[in-house]
Amino acid sequence: MTLATLLLLLIKISLISLMIALGLQLRPHQLMAQQRRPWLVLRVVLGSCVLVPLVALLLLKLPWALQLSPGARLGIALMALSPSAPLTLRKAGAKGGDANLAAVLQVVAALLAVVSIPLLSDLFRAVFQVRGWDLRPGPVALQVGLVQVLPLSVGLLLGRWKPELGARWAAPMQSIALGINLTVVGIILVQVLPKLSAFLARNPLVIPAMAAMTAAALALGYGLGGADRNERLTCAVVTSMRNPGLALLFAASHGSTVPGLKLAIVTYLLVTLLGSIPFLRWANRPTHA
């Protein structure tokens, strides 16, 4: 087994484990609580699944962004297309957000992704018409369905049938999925780190482009989140945190010949994690009457 094959297998395992864990830990009362605000869920999920990719499309069409290499541009596009990140629930809960709302938003985003990713990836491919943009709707929908929708459905059914199973296994499975995800990112970092300086030298505007995407996604989520401060923080986290596992899966299966693609995805993840820190500090600042 080659390292590339092993990484692809680990990515799939981490995505499937994450979705099963998400389904296991979602409780009926969490869904019932969100029924009182369906428009909040709808607009935030549409923001994460549709508006963020469209912002990326507009950004990548700007003259200065056209100077980026195909790998850098495709990496930004794939991360923008991939919602429902594994770090979302933990980050939302740790930063004072609403973990129940984050779980529901992540589930709905994972379900919508089976439609949004194929359609929008086809739009990206039609607009840019460069090698590597071969994310065809049919195979992408099948891929998203197998690694997200099917295991999520299994988790939801198991959690409903055996609630005690969900209570016991949801957190460990999520930790395992997160650990695998971080392992994959770490292996890729070790592989590509020697190439980072050359990548940044060829793409001096890639960090500003990724930082602009992070800022735009945070602002979208915060603006769509309603009046409650904790909800707005939660929606900002959900909207901005993209799914590197899903993006790397597409990179391995649809863009393996594009130089610098995996490096761009990992760089985007790091920029998002670092770029969100000042925003989260600002959002958690003490308020005075």
| pLDDT, tens digit (0-9, with 9 covering 90-100), for 33-56 | 666 678 888 999 999 999 999 999
> What is the chain's mean pLDDT, rounded?
82
Q: Which of the four CATH numbers 3.90.180.10, 1.20.140.10, 3.40.50.2300, 1.20.1530.20 does domain 3-281 have?
A: 1.20.1530.20
pLDDT of residue 88: 62
C-beta of residue 43 within 8 angstroms of C-beta of residue 231: no
Tokens found for residue 163 = 């609630």
Alpha helices in 95-228 (DSSP H): 99-128, 137-144, 150-161, 163-202, 206-224
Domain-by-domain residue ranges, the chain? Answer: 3-281
pTM: 0.85
Backbone phi, psi, residue 89, to 5°: -60, -45
Using CA atoms, how far apart are residues 177 and 276, in angstroms rounded to an integer? 22
List, for residues 225-244, the tens digit of each pLDDT value.
877 888 888 888 889 989 88
Rg (CA), the chain: 18
DSSP string, 18-54: HHHHHHHH--HHHHHHHTT-HHHHHHHHHIIIIIHHH
